[in-house]
Amino acid sequence: MSSNSTADNLCAPDDTLCIIREHQPAVIIVPTLLLAATLVTLLALLLMRYCPERKRTRITALQSYSSSSHRHTQRHSHRHHLQGIDAPPGLNPLEHEELPMSVQQVQQNVRPTLTALPQTSTERHHDAFSQITALPLSFSIKPSDTVRLHRARMDNRDVILRVLKESANSSEKQDFLGFASFVSGLGPHPFLPVLLGKVSVQSPLLMVMEELHHRDLLGFLWRCRQDHSGVESPCDMTEKRIFTMAGQVASALEYLHSQSCIHGNIGARSVLVGGDLTAKLWGLGPAYRRRTQAGSPGEVEDMELRKWQAPEVLARRAVSPSSDVWSFGILLYEMVTLGDPPFDQLMATELLQHLQRGRHLKRPSTCSNSLYSLIRSCCHWSPQQRLSMSELIQRLQAGEKSANGRTVIRVPEPLDIESYLREAGYGEAYNYAVL
Distances (CA, A) of 260 to 13, 289, 321, 385: 101, 14, 9, 21
SS3 state at 402 = helix
308, 295, 280, 281: which is closest to 379 by C-alpha? Answer: 308
114, 140, 136: which is closest to 125 by C-alpha? Answer: 114
In contact, 263 and 299? CB cutoff 8 Å:
no
Q: How many CA atoms does the CB half-sphere of 283 hold within 13 Å?
A: 32
Model confidence at 330: pLDDT above 60: yes
User: What is the pLDDT averaged over residues 165-180?
Assistant: 88
SS3 state at 158 = strand
User: What is the pLDDT averaged over residues 298-323?
Assistant: 80
Measured CA to CA, the distance from residue 69 to residue 82 in angstroms comes to 20
Measured CA to CA, the distance from residue 192 to residue 220 in angstroms comes to 18
What is the topology classification, in CATH, of domain 215-424?
A: Transferase(Phosphotransferase); domain 1 (1.10.510)
Measured CA to CA, the distance from residue 411 to residue 332 in angstroms comes to 15
pLDDT value for 138? 66
pLDDT value for 205? 81
- Confidence label for 201 from pLDDT (cuts 50, 70 and 90): confident
Distances (CA, A) of 82 to 33, 77, 155, 199: 70, 10, 14, 22
215-216: strand order across its sheet: 215-216, 271-273, 279-281
User: Between 1 and 428, whose confidence is greater?
Assistant: 1
Q: Per-residue pLDDT tens for 109-127?
A: 333 333 434 444 432 345 5
CB 22: neighbour CB atoms within 10 A? Answer: 18
Is the overall model pTM greater than 0.85, yes or no? Answer: no
User: What is the pLDDT averaged over residues 146-158?
Assistant: 83
Annotated domain spans of the chain: 2-65, 98-210, 215-424
> In this structure, what DSSP letter does residue 378 have?
H
- Confidence label for 231 from pLDDT (cuts 50, 70 and 90): low
Model confidence at 395: pLDDT above 80: yes
Model confidence at 79: pLDDT above 50: no
pLDDT value for 422? 87
pLDDT value for 256? 97
Q: What are phi and psi of 314, to 5 degrees?
A: -60, -35
pLDDT value for 261? 94
Rg of the chain taking only CA atoms, in angstroms:
36
Measured CA to CA, the distance from residue 69 to residue 419 in angstroms comes to 59
Q: Per-residue pLDDT tens for 336-384?
A: 999 999 999 899 889 999 999 999 999 999 999 999 999 999 999 999 9
> In this structure, what DSSP letter does residue 375 have?
H
pLDDT value for 83? 33
- Confidence label for 9 from pLDDT (cuts 50, 70 and 90): low
Measured CA to CA, the distance from residue 84 to residue 167 in angstroms comes to 27
3-state helix, strand, coil in the chain (%, to 5): 45, 15, 40
Q: Give the pairing type, strands 147-154 and 215-216.
A: unpaired
Q: What are phi and psi of 307, to 5 degrees?
A: -75, -5
168, 156, 173: which is closest to 211 by C-alpha? Answer: 156
Model confidence at 240: pLDDT above 80: yes
The type of residue at 279 is: A
pLDDT value for 230? 52
Could you say which of 3.30.200.20, 2.30.30.60, 3.30.470.20, 3.40.640.10 is the CATH number of the domain covering 98-210? 3.30.200.20
DSSP string, 293-360: HS--TTHHHHHT-GGGS-HHHHTT----HHHHHHHHHHHHHHHHTTSPPTTTTS-GGGHHHHHHTT--
SS3 state at 215 = strand
Distances (CA, A) of 52 to 39, 47, 61, 313: 21, 8, 14, 65
Measured CA to CA, the distance from residue 113 to residue 127 in angstroms comes to 13
Q: What are phi and psi of 141, to 5 degrees?
A: -110, 125
pLDDT value for 120? 40
Measured CA to CA, the distance from residue 120 to residue 164 in angstroms comes to 25
Measured CA to CA, the distance from residue 313 to residue 210 in angstroms comes to 32
User: What is the pLDDT averaged over residues 286-309?
Assistant: 70
